Structure 1
Amino acid sequence: MGPLKFPFQLVTQYDKDPQVRQFVDQMEWYIVPLLNPDGYEYSRSSSDPEIRLWRKNRSPPKCIQQSTGLFTPPRTACCQGVDLNRNFDWFFGQVGSSTDPCSEIYQGAYAFSEPETASVRDFLQRHKVHTFLTFHSYSQILMYPFGHQVRTYSNDHNDLVSTRSLLEIST
């Protein structure tokens, strides 16, 4: 389900489904339909399979020296973008991320180095958000805490599963 279908379901199912009514009446919803517009437009505007699966933002290129082998001199590689999913401070720099700007899972120079993730952080702190769900279009999955490790659950896991079930039913 796309992020725009979800609010549509909340509105159209409000009078039909008591669980939807409860979710709408008891929670305050903030829906951000797209966090990476530059990366999305870049991937959408190409038919090249490597670009169509672009997952990073379009931040300026970062150049590094890469070794190509034992007997060849290093070469300079300049690569663009940061994987925004890995640019938050939760387990920043841990397994599943990379410090190589040419990697698809490049985490950025530091947590919240990108304007997109810094904006999310600032918004969440300003509004004291208690629950945060993300639609991962790259993998077509819905994630909630904790996504960094298998079989690790937050204290509100059952509530999140219930919300996820509502989202899946509405697809």
Structure 2
Amino acid sequence: MSGPDKDRYEVGYGKPPKSGQFQKGKSGNPRGRPKGARGLKTDLKAELGERVTITENGRTRKLTKQQLMVKQLTAKAVKGDMRAISKLAEADRIMEKHLLTLEPAISRTQTAEMQAQKLRLVLPKPLHATFHEEQRGWILDVAGFLQIAGSCD
């Protein structure tokens, strides 16, 4: 192209006018996310982990808000609340989650946390050697995972 067509720019979907585009080298979010700003997931985790005091059968107990929610949902299900029964059945469906990774040698602390969350690591067999012996019994190889996944049908 040469002449006047060379400088022509077609405006349309995904193609804003040149006057509305960011200048080269300038960010559209110059200040970025403010430091210390927390996301919903972080706030929810903190809120559900907060402990509250309850009185049950004349005894005072401290439970997390999450434990209290499960206790209340279970009580509703026992009374015949179909929605609560459905929610409990749904929550119980996913007993163990799997994480396929190529990351070698994850710390024992991290694998213990994963076990507590019922999250099992799946790694290619050669990477098992990079883990401590006590971790290896818990790690699945890809073939083992595929066998489990195939039996879920």
Length-normalised TM-score, structure 2: 0.24
Higher helix share: 2
Length-normalised TM-score, structure 1: 0.22
- Mark the structure with the bigger radius of gyration: 2
